Amino acid sequence: MNQNNFLCFEHPKNEVTHICLGKHSCNRLLCENCLNLHQTNNIRVLPMAHFIQEWSLLKSSVSENSKLRAIQIKQIYQNFLYDVRENFKKINDLIDKANIEFEKLISKQNCFDEFQNKNTNFLLEFQEQNLLQAWGLFKSNQLESVQNLYASFEKGAKEFNKLLKANLNVISAIQILKLNQQSQKTTLQQSYQFYCYGDNFQDYQITNFQIKQIGEQEIGFIKEGQVLKIQKITDNYKDECIIKNLEQIKYSEFSEVEIDKNPKTKKMEVRWKGENFNIGGFANQNNNKIGQWREYFGNFWDNSKIISVGCYFKGKRFQKWEEKYVENWKNNYIVEEDQNENEQNAIDNQIKLEQESINQYILGGGYYDEQGLKNSKWIDLHSNFNRQMQIIYRGEYEHDKKIGVWDTIFNNKLIGGGCYYQQGIKNGRWIEHQAKFSEFSQVIYVGEYRQGKKHDQWNAMYRENLQSEYKIVGGGQYNKNGKKYGMWDELPSNYGANFIGKYNGLYEDGKKQGKWDILFENQVIGGGDYNNDGIKTGKWIELMDNFYNQSQVIYVGMYQDGGKIGQWQTLYRWNQTNQFTEIGGGLYDKKSKKKGNWIDIHEQFWNWMQVKFIGGYYKGLKVGKWDTIYDEKVIGGGLYNQDEIKIGKWIELAENYNKACLVTFTGEYQIGIKSGRWNILNEDQVIGGGDYNQEGKKNGQWIDLHENFNNNCVVTYSGIYSNGVKQGRWDITYQNNVIGGGCYDEQGRKFGQWIELDEKFNDSWLNPCKIIYKREYSNGMAKSFGQKEVLI
């Protein structure tokens, strides 16, 4: 991932633009939304480009100083050892030489009868002066001096060792800091999930999950107490390799295949819901990707089956890369713009557009140089490109930096853009889109950049559809430092047809001050106060993250030093004509962690899915027995251990559980992992299910539900899994009749003749769709769009 293109953890569709260096607890990596909401004072917040530049200079300086210091220390140490060694050598040489002289003298004078007068005089003089005793004393003193020197050296060495260890603790502290930062960064992760509300309204909503370290070589992805996936990490593993797309965590499976003919090369494959789309490629023994690859585009999932195709050289992308559809659904939605067009003509036109292959529709791409950097003209896809957010960016790169004019295009129409200055810094007039821009939420922001900082007046503008005109619905002023000041009307990330709301209040030097109101349909429904440091204080009324017309949920309680404390209430109303009524809540402790008994609501709570969860918290973690309540009846639940991990028997709800889809799953968890037999029930009748192995992978005979299973789409898939991989014959059943299906090979790839359903297949009275397609597959790829038929 490009160092300038990190994605925000709080707002996954936004790129990180700034970094906070303050000594306080925050996400550090900030997008524009985070920057606007940052609740701190007198701290350094730098643009990422400036921080990276400062960091590079500091890293270079520290590296050079470290190398110089290391050389100096080594030289001093070597000189010291050399001097000690030379001095000991001189003393030893002196003692050895003197010993030799004494031995010669004594050997020559060992017989008294051979003495001459001069020798007699010499011996008498030698004895009178006690030179022999003096020599012995000298050697004894030298030995004691050497022993004292060794003791002194040993003591000094110990002191030096302590000092060295103390300094080495700095390295340990840095390593611990790195681990802590990784832990902070990955403890709570947000993603967007696709939800259907009735037959007409669909939206993308925020959902939370956790990423936790499990031992030294594994990390676990956890959602509501279930371990969705355990991923191994290696020494050369990079943070950007960690999956942060919830759908991919749940449904993708990675595997390595050794190649007999070349043990230094291995094939890597990725399957989606047990099916092989030929995603993957080859890697060498150092895990560096090589040759041709087909990879998930960042936000790959059922509603955005897009892949990146290109070549790797020495582990880096090289030459031409393209973004393509694995399956074609795009034209379905483009055709829908003309709602008066006959359905038959629309499908015929769609087939005509896809004569070559449904797998070869190119959306974007460009070229990488030998260093793996983007260069020349590119078409980038929005990181969350999907059915309702078909946004692309068109412009030019120079050494991975955007330069010149870039256009923003939505559904083939220009909606914004601007100009990049040196080092990829925005400059001049820009039109930007909000994080969740879609068919339902067409909001843009119009204003001016000066050297990468927003300046003067910025307006928030909204239109209902592509044919409407934009109107100003919010905005405010930026000062010369690019910080908000004065009165502002801010829009929520999901502002649009389903939520006409805004936040109104005062900014001073980028920090919210005093009273702020939350408005919905121009009526105040919430808000509270900020202190001088821009931190929430006192009583607040807040909206649920996914607040919209049919899910009007608010939270009421107290803030102290920016943290929730005491009793908080959860209230709900069906629409503006009703009063808010209490439906849940509980207590926060002094550390703003939930404690005691709580009534939580489902994160997608709305009129057709008024689901609540009742149980206990301990230090912010769910523990013990929890019940799932719907229509004031217990319909599910189970046990959490002390780490908020599911254990034992559980009854869970389907993701799209509502009045039209009363589907539950029942089975057992072994420390957060599904194990053994799990049944799928619809209104308490078993309609599907199968077995999980010890690794939590589907195995043996299974009956799965259609992803949009409900009263108007009673569709199931039946076949065999082998360790999570679909194999052999699979049948598609509609209202207990087999209407389609086909075969998978041992690698989970479709082959041969298949009969498949249109993705909108249903028999509702409002928008029925009973279209099927006959297609020929080879190695998991469809040879053509296929022959269309309509079921009677």
Tally Cβ neighbours within 10 Å of residue 32.
19
State the CATH class of domain 390-522.
Answer: mainly beta
User: Which two structure tokens, joined as six digits, stand for 17?
Assistant: 């633009």
Q: What is the pLDDT of residue 24?
A: 58
Residues 6+ apart with CB under 8 A from 60: none
The two three-digit tokens of residue 362, written as one number: 């190119």
What pLDDT was estimated at residue 653? Answer: 96
Strands 374-381 and 362-368, how do they pair?
A: antiparallel
Spans of the chain below 50 pLDDT: 1-4, 111-118, 165-187, 194-201, 328-360
Task: Look at residue 235 in the predicted model and tell me its pLDDT.
Answer: 55
pLDDT of residue 247: 83
How wide is the angle at C-alpha 601 spanned by C-alphas 599 and 605, nearest 5°?
155
pLDDT the model gives residue 186: 36
- Cα(12)–Cα(383) distance, integer angstroms: 9
User: First vs last Cα of the chain: how many Å apart?
Assistant: 50
Position 77 scores a pLDDT of 67
Report the 3 state secondary structure along 629-664.
EECCEEEEEEEECCCCCEEEEEEEECCCCECCECEE
Task: Report domain extents, the chain.
Answer: 1-43, 52-129, 390-522, 535-635, 645-792
What is the predicted pLDDT for the residue at 39? 53
Q: Looking at residue 326, what is its pLDDT?
A: 80
Quickly tell me which residue has 């209202």 as its tokens: 735
CA 433, CA 15: separation in Å to the nearest integer? 12
Residues 84, 90, 95: CA angle, nearest 5 degrees? 125
What local confidence, expressed as pLDDT, does residue 680 receive?
A: 98
Residue with tokens 């309702």: 388
Amino acid 334: pLDDT:
32
**pLDDT tens per residue across span 591-645:** 999 999 999 999 889 888 999 999 999 999 999 999 999 999 999 999 999 999 9
Contact call for residues 511 and 489 (beta carbons, < 8 A): no
Return d(Cα 763, Cα 199) in angstroms, integer.
Answer: 11
**Is residue 781 classed as helix, strand or coil in its secondary structure?**
strand
List the Cα angle 623/629/633 in 5-degree steps.
130
Residue 350 has phi, psi (to 5 degrees) of -65, -45
Pairwise CA distance, residues 332 & 341, whole Å: 12
CA–CA gap between residue 12 and residue 493 (Å, rounded) = 12
d(CA 21, CA 39): 13
CB 272 within 8 A of CB 252: yes
Which uninterrupted H or E stretch holds 157? helix 131-187
What are the two backbone dihedrals, phi and then psi, of residue 589, each rounded to the nearest 5 degrees?
-85, -175
| Alpha carbons 211 and 189: distance in angstroms, whole number | 7
Single out the residue of 655, 671, 743, 650 nearest to residue 705, CA to CA. Answer: 655
Q: Are 478 and 455 in contact (CB under 8 A)?
A: yes
- For residue 106, what pLDDT is reported? 60
Assigned token pair, 720: 């065999």
Whole-number CA gyration radius for the chain: 36
pLDDT of 359 reads 41
DSSP secondary structure code for residue 382 in this structure: P
Residue 740, H or E segment: strand 737-744
What's residue 143's pLDDT? 66
**Given this model, what pLDDT does residue 154 score?**
66
Across 104-250, where does the E strand assignment appear? 188-197, 201-214, 218-223, 226-232
